[in-house]
Amino acid sequence: MRTSVDKARIVQLHAQHLDAAIIAERLGCSRRAVHLAIQQWTAAQAEQPS
C-alpha cells in the first residue's frame, strides 16, 4: 500500500463519479486516504469565494 497519495488524481477520479473503493484500488491506496483527500478538497473549495 502506498504511503503518499496523489490527491489531484483522487479528485479527478472523484469528479468522474467513481466510488472511493474503486479509486483506492486503481491508485493502490486505502479508502481512508481517498476519503480524506476528497474531504480536504471539498473543504478547500468551500473556503474559496465563488
Full pLDDT tens readout for the chain, 50 residues = 555 678 999 999 999 999 999 999 999 999 999 999 999 999 999 998 86
How far apart, in whole angstroms, are the C-alpha atoms of residue 16 and residue 18?
6
Residue 23, classed as helix, strand or coil, is: helix
Would you say residue 22 lies in a domain?
yes
pLDDT value of position 21: 96
Q: Is residue 25 part of a domain?
A: yes
Cell of 48: 474559496
Total count of domains within the chain = 1
Task: Report how far residue 22's alpha carbon sits from residue 9's, in angstroms, rounded to the nearest whole number.
Answer: 13
Residue 28 lies in a domain: yes
**Range(s) of the domain holding residue 12:** 7-47
- Residue 1 domain-assigned (yes or no): no
Q: The pTM is what?
A: 0.81
38 is a domain residue: yes
Asked if residue 2 belongs to a domain, the reply is no
